[in-house]
Amino acid sequence: MSKDKQIRTTPLYQMHLDAGAKMVPFAGYEMPVSYPLGIKKEHNHTREKAGLFDVSHMGQIRLVGANAKKALESLVPVDIIDLPLMKLRYALFTNKSGGVMDDLMVTNLGDEELFLVVNAGCKNADFDHLQSTIGDDCKIEFLKDAALLALQGPSSYKVLSEIMPSINEMTFMTAKKVAINGIECLITRSGYTGEDGFEISLPAKDSEELAKLLLSNKEVEWVGLGARDSLRLEAGLSLYGHELDTNHSPVESSLSWALSKIRRAGGEREGNYLGSETIMNHLDEGSETKVVGLQPEGRMPVRDGATIEDELGNKVGKVTSGGFGPSINRPIAIARLQKSYIENNSKLFAIVRDKKIAVEIVSLPFVKQNYYRG
């Protein structure tokens, strides 16, 4: 979005104001960072019951055509051709050097149609990338009049099944088209909190009606961007622009698990996407850096951008995401480190306000993920 354009709002902007939300500019939108409940209580409410997030700023894109699957697969290191009907898969747009341009969710809706959800800050560039590379192979449509709601937490299934019983057959990473009170919705059992939950794509004009219906359940509270970030951090989930960027491959960002075997060296459809040579080389020979969890000593949070040093003061990496984990009541962080220091189990320190804070490398996630797999 160019600087001369006004900041945008989602279809639920007035609802956020009415709910007393603290609004902040984010990815070109005026978005709720928190509500009167406060970030910590919103976070804990999502872990214990159900939080409702307005994520309508995200990009929603349809690819339509007989060649849509094959075309999209040429841009991601992921198996799209064999993606089953009404299933979704995590994917990554890569560039010529193997870096990550964005991460996204891809759903196979059948009838030669794919549904993509991409990051808000990248959505215009993603659309241009799709149009310029595979625009001749399939129809690419930006869903500008669509909203997106995320209902997350252990009570989300109970809340949603009361108004739409047919979701009882859904498991993690599956999709279903339903009508709720006459509103046509695409529901996926997915999310960005580490909890069981659902994301609901629907017409913007109907979003307020559905949000009010969900909020009428006493288990549900509005949750803003502040708690969304602390929830995903505890769950060890990557954030574009932090753990992922154009200068590092998925392997360097510890996302090898997301690279389909069929697209790797020796696979039936190996390579043939942007940066595939670099990425497959990193898979085979390893990379110099890796993204890991860090547990800081004490109570002082270690924030994004903090330098990580060894005992001798050598810079060995930096924090990509950091803050406080309300669920475990202590500071947590994710960092990109030189692999040699990880393997040598070196003593490491984060530099915070010119002070050295001892940090320990730990496995991700910090909080157990509770996706419903059936």
- Fold annotation for 60-142: Alpha-Beta Plaits (3.30.70)
Q: What's residue 1's pLDDT? A: 35
- Tokens 């290191």 identify what position? 77
How do the domains of the chain map onto residue ranges?
13-57+145-234, 60-142, 256-362
Reported as type and span, the H/E element at residue 335 is strand 330-338
pLDDT digits (tens, 9 = 90+) for 74-132: 999 999 999 999 999 999 999 999 999 999 999 999 999 999 999 999 999 999 999 99
Does residue 3 surpass a pLDDT of 50? no
pLDDT tens by residue, 193-239:
999 999 999 999 999 999 999 999 999 999 999 999 999 999 999 99
d(CA 102, CA 119): 7
Helix (H, G, I), strand (E, B) or coil at 248: coil
- Looking at the domain covering 13-57+145-234, what would its CATH class be? alpha beta
**Residue (of 280, 288, 264, 294) closest to 343 by Cα position:** 288
Q: 313 in helix, strand or coil?
A: coil
- Give the alpha-carbon dihedral of 324, 330, 336, 337, to 10 degrees: 160
Please provide the size of the chain in residues. 374
Q: What is the mean pLDDT of residues 29-43?
A: 98
**Mean pLDDT value across the chain:** 97
Q: What percent of the chain shows pLDDT beyond 90? A: 97
Please give the structure tokens belonging to residue 313: 């003061």
For residue 327, pLDDT beyond 70: yes
* Cβ–Cβ under 8 Å, residues 148 and 60: yes
> From CA 243, how far away is CA 117, in angstroms rounded?
19
- What is the distance between the alpha carbons of residues 179 and 182, in angstroms, rounded to a whole number? 5
Pairing of strands 146-152, 100-110: unpaired
What is the pairing mode between strands 50-54 and 220-222? parallel
pTM (2 decimals)?
Answer: 0.96
d(CA 104, CA 240): 10
CATH code, residues 256-362: 2.40.30.110
Mean pLDDT of 33-37: 98
